[in-house]
Amino acid sequence: MLVNKYLFFISAIVFGISLPPFNTYLLPFIIFIPMFFLFDREENNFNIVKFLFLFGFISSLFSVHWIFENRGASLVIRILSGFSLFILVGMQYSLFGYLVTIVKKILPKSFLYSVPILWLVTEQLISYRELSFPWVVPSMSVVNFNLFIQISDIIGASGISLLLLLFNLILYLIIKNYFNRSYKKLSMYIVILFTLLFPILIYGKLRVDSIDSIYLKKESLNAGLVHLSLGAEEKWEKSNKGRIFDRHIFITDSLKKFNPDVIVWGETNYPSYLLNNIGDLRKIREIAKNGNLSIITGSLGYKFIDDKVKKYNSAISISRERIDQYNKVMLVPFGEFFPFSDIFTFLKNISLGQSNFNRGEDLTPFKVDSKNISVNICYEAIFPTFISKQCRESGAIINISNDAWYENSREIDQHNSFNVFRSIENRKPILRLANRGFTGIFTPTGSFIKSIDFDDNCGKIVSVGLMNETTIFNRISYYINFLGNLFGTLLILYGLVLVLINRYKKRRIYYIN
């Protein structure tokens, strides 16, 4: 068992390393085999939960260590938020382990077959708002295996995680039956392995060819990108505000001759509350009116609700006819807010390098030349169900991000890579504008076409096809999420009931004796 535990911890390290930018090719198909050894051979349920916590903690330490590089926070806050995040991921994996132990009690001889489904359930649970951070997940280790992940338009990224664990389970059973000399079962599992793998790859190839062909024929949107490479703190210095705004206006003016339908600025690249700055707002609206276009920009936003100020990370759409505001819904725990800060209000006073934001609620898409375009902000791109709901009535997706907080780290590659899955799941193009990150277009098959380099200060015109069709995943993602949360909650409650019953029995025996 000692050797298996060493392999278990090595697999946690390898899994952490396998997330972007590294391409570990086929390693994800064997990374989780030691986990199945643990599930199958460890009789102490507490040990399973404990080792799964360590798996999550270690893999996050090797994958999201960039959290310590938050350039806007003090050293103490960086250390506090970093280890809080590692513990959070560890708790997510221990939750997975806990679900496995419950099913193991119910189905002791066949529970292993439920493990891939239990991970899918876990991914739904860990996407719940307050402690949502579904970043260190199996599917991200195969984001570069383009043909394999095309089936995401049916099963989503969490379904890809399920498939990965299923292949790991089959390989574990092949190894187990080899050492048990059960060659008939071994042969059966080998047949199952290839019977599953080949259709998935064939489907991927057919879908790539089909979707690429359809996309080229679609009506397109002419979009202008205004990219200023700004340091994490640079835009917040009052002395820079006027210069940054004037530079945006200058580049925007220079793009008007190309007749864009929309011009996009970055996340919070307007370093203030735009809707409360009448002079700057008038300048932007004048350009929108004269050019008959829309301008979408990140900005700070706030509202007074019940005599309290609600602060938001917002996107503003300004056109000839209207001004619309979208407030970010999915916030970064320990980055944009402290979990449960609505209950423990003193947490709102801790500086996270930017602000402790409130959540938005409205998901209405922006109108660009009578076309629906959904806009999400930064971290929101990691949530499959949220994006599928938000973009259901849209022809394209715009993602505005700010990667300057974690400049020159793995965060930039990982953050960008989530859009691969979102584009495939919904078969919609994603126009991404990221400050000191990857800027370009994701096609509906997940290919990324880079438009602007990290350090460039420039404008560029790009063409984005409009895909108004909905995928199977887009239509069923809500039900996957709902049923996953329901099933997971019922399992947790069942496990708690078992614990209470066992304690009651032990006390009763004690008093009888």
pLDDT in tens, 4-28: 778 899 999 999 999 999 888 789 9
Mean pLDDT for 402-431 is: 93
Which residues fall within 8 angstroms of residue 501, CB to CB, at 6 or more apart? Answer: none
At 266-320, the pLDDT tens digits run 886 777 788 888 898 999 999 999 889 999 999 988 877 777 778 899 999 999 8
pLDDT at 24: 83
CB atoms within 10 A of CB 214: 14
Q: What ranges do the domains of the chain cover?
A: 2-214+480-504, 218-470
pLDDT of residue 295: 95
- pLDDT value of residue 387: 96
- The answer to whether 136 and 62 have CB atoms below 8 angstroms apart is no
Side-chain-side CA neighbours of residue 133 (13 Å): 26
Amino acid at 304: F
Q: Do 136 and 85 contact (CB within 8 A), yes or no?
A: no
- Give the torsion through C-alpha atoms of 322, 320, 433, 129, to 10 deg: 0
With a cut of 90, say whether residue 359 has pLDDT above it.
no
Report which DSSP code applies to 444. Answer: T
pLDDT band at residue 408, thresholds of 50, 70 and 90?
Answer: confident
Task: Identify which has the larger pLDDT, 170 or 505.
Answer: 170
Indicate the pTM of the whole model.
0.92
For the ranges 79-93, 129-143, 201-215, 335-349, the lowest mean pLDDT is seen at 335-349
- Chain mean pLDDT for the chain: 90
Here the tokens at position 167 are 């292949």
The pLDDT of residue 347:
65
Amino acid 346: pLDDT = 65
| CATH code, residues 218-470 | 3.60.110.10
Q: Which two tokens stand for residue 399?
A: 């993602």
What's the CA gap between 124 and 499, in Å, rounded? 24
Whether the pLDDT of residue 371 is over 60: the answer is yes
pLDDT of 434 over the 80 cut: yes
Q: Is the pLDDT of residue 259 over 70?
A: yes
Per-residue pLDDT tens for 157-208?
A: 999 999 999 999 999 999 999 999 999 999 999 999 999 999 999 999 999 9
